[in-house]
Amino acid sequence: MNCPYCHSDKSRVIDTTHDSRGGIRRRRECESCNQRFSTYERPILATPLIIKRDGTREEFDREKLHRGIRIACVKRPVTASEIDTLVSEIELSLQKMGRAELSSRVVGDMAINGLKELDLIAYIRYAIVYLRLDDLNAIRNEIDRLLET
Each residue's pLDDT tens digit, 49-99: 999 999 999 999 999 999 999 999 999 999 999 999 999 999 989 988 888
User: In total, how many domains does the chain have?
Assistant: 2
Phi and psi of 16, rounded to 5°? -135, 130
Give the bridge partners for 12, in sequence order. Answer: 29
Average pLDDT of the residues of the chain: 92
Predicted structure pTM score: 0.69
| 3-class secondary structure, 37 | strand
Q: Same domain, yes or no, for 55 and 74?
A: yes
Phi and psi of 74, rounded to 5°? -60, 135
Q: How far is CA 8 from the centre of its chain?
A: 31
User: Starting at the edge strand that comes first in sequence, how are the strands of the sheet with 49-51 ordered?
Assistant: 57-59, 49-51, 101-103
Q: Same domain, yes or no, for 33 and 57?
A: no
Q: Same domain, yes or no, for 15 and 86?
A: no
Q: Same domain, yes or no, for 36 and 55?
A: no
